[in-house]
Amino acid sequence: MACPAPAAALMAAALPPGPALELCCGAGGITRELARTGRRVLAVDQNQARLRANRENLAAVGLEGRVAQLCCDLRRAALRRRPGAKPFAAAVLDPDWSPPGRPPREWANALSGLEPPLGDLLELALSLAPLAMLRLPRALARQAAEELAPGLTVQELAPGGRRWQWLWLARGAGRGQLTATSC
């Protein structure tokens, strides 16, 4: 399920300046908003059809030149930071909580239900950027904060929103006062 455009725009504007990494980019609602902020974006997904839709959606609004795409299996991602290379300013993760062919009532209802595993996604994101922003079903946001807390600073964004919650995740010290929205 794609993040609604207004929420994606507020989230993209809340990120620190600089290039962004988007894991699980899907059809590109968040990618579009990241590119609209003027930053360079690397959009990664393991599904070629989703990347094609992402590219078409970016082209429709003239933003395809700001985004590079990579198709890879995120369980064995080919992404590694080269020695001396600057990290991305932030990573955005909006994993697909709705497995193909399953109705919403059967979406992943535990962090362990996500494929690729959330821990692997976060490890990859935080190896490439100092902070990650993660969108979770609201019912799992508290569980995530508790399970992911060892070694990570977890901050919920903007109380409210009925279905989804964004979390900031960073190693060590937190990001301070950040604002965004739930959707």
Write down the pLDDT at residue 113: 66
Helix or strand run (H / E) with residue 34: helix 29-36
Q: In tens digits, what is the pLDDT along the chain, a chain of 183 residues?
A: 567 788 888 888 888 999 999 998 989 999 999 999 999 999 999 889 999 999 999 999 999 999 999 998 877 666 777 777 788 999 999 887 666 666 656 665 666 667 777 778 888 888 899 998 888 777 776 666 667 656 666 666 654 456 677 778 887 654 443 333 333
Cβ atoms 45, 24 nearer than 8 A: yes
12 and 91 in contact (C-beta within 8 Å)?
no
DSSP-H helix ranges across the chain:
5-14, 29-36, 48-60, 118-128, 138-148
pLDDT, residue 61, reads 95
SS3 170: strand
CATH classification for the domain delimited by 5-171, as one of 3.40.50.150, 3.40.50.300, 3.90.1150.10, 1.10.150.20 = 3.40.50.150
pLDDT score of 177: 35
